[in-house]
Chains A and B, each alone.
Chain A
Amino acid sequence: MAKSNKPIFWSLFAAGGTLAAFLAPVLVLLLLLAALGHPPDVLGYAQLHAFAAHWLGKVFLLAVITLFLWHAAHRLRVTLHDFGLRQDPVVAVLVYLAAAAGTALSMFYLLRI
């Protein structure tokens, strides 16, 4: 059987989609409350810093940010094709590089907290 990198990217897409399905709406809602001038307690500096300082909080934030990014990158690749952009090899490299950069940056920022 021919080797393919599809399973890796597809599993990240599926994992991110599932995580986004369960968590994205409520997380958006938390930031929306802040945008409306009623930030929930967790967005206070002391509380959020304590959350992100714990390794479990770091794992949660890292999983949310990176899996959302990989999900979006893979689906964007397919969607750009659907919008008529027929440059898949270039698009694939660009979207996956962006997701990889986002993964590296989120690790970097989280480890500094």
Chain B
Amino acid sequence: MSRRPFVREVSRTRWYFRQPRYLRYMSREVTCIFIGAFALLLLCAVRRLSQGQAAWESFLAALEGPWSALGLVVILVFAVHNTTSWFNVTPKAMPVQIGEEFLPGKFIVAAHYVAWILVSLLVLYFAGVR
């Protein structure tokens, strides 16, 4: 080690503002806050459901309103960001080899998007959304 090492001062709490790709990385990481919040909301829903019809209906009534709609829109945006960022790295996470060649990544990503759309439509259909 040299006697006067060069130390670059990097903020521990604001380093990701230095480069757009660091910010993109952080935008992908913070989706977990919203996925976690949604899981807690679902946990609440299951709790109220287990307490009977009156409890469930008061849960639905409490959910209705502009502020919870706004919160859910924010959660939706981050959930979609989790989906797209998750699918876009699938060729790296699970490359498909056919003989000597690797299947081009765009096919793996596209297959995930198609499956996502089908699953979503299926859920909407069975949930009775018209």
Known contacts A21-B87, A28-B75, A34-B60, A64 near B42 by CB under 8 Å: yes
Say how far B117's CB is from chain A's closest CB, in angstroms: 10
Known contacts A76-B32, A109-B47, A35 near B87 by CB under 8 Å: no
Q: Contact check, A75 vs B40: say whether CB atoms are below 8 A apart.
A: no
**Whole-angstrom CA separation of A24 from B120 in the bound complex:** 9
Q: Which stretch of B1-9, B64-72, B96-104 is in the interface? A: B64-72
Per a CB cutoff under 8 Å, which of B12, B13, B35, B46 touches A72? B35
List A contacts of B124 (CB < 8 A).
26, 29-30, 40
Determine the residue in chain A with the shortest Cβ distance to B129: A40
List A contacts of B32 (CB < 8 A).
71-72, 74-76, 79
**Is the contact region of chain A dominated by helix, strand, or loop, or is it mixed?**
helix
Say how far A27's CB is from chain B's closest CB, in angstroms: 7
Interface residues of A in 13-55 (CB under 8 A from B): 16-18, 20-37, 39-43, 45, 47-49, 52
Determine the residue in chain B with the shortest Cβ distance to A58: B46
Interface residues of A in 92-113 (CB under 8 A from B): 102, 105-106, 109-110, 112-113
Quick check: is A61 within 8 A (CB to CB) of the other chain?
yes
Quick check: is A91 within 8 A (CB to CB) of the other chain?
no
Quick check: is A12 within 8 A (CB to CB) of the other chain?
no
Q: Contact check, A24 vs B53: say whether CB atoms are below 8 A apart.
A: no
Per a CB cutoff under 8 Å, which of A48, A69, A84 touches B12? A84
List B contacts of A41 (CB < 8 A).
127-129
Say how far A22's CB is from chain B's closest CB, in angstroms: 5
Per a CB cutoff under 8 Å, which of B40, B63, B87 touches A31? B63
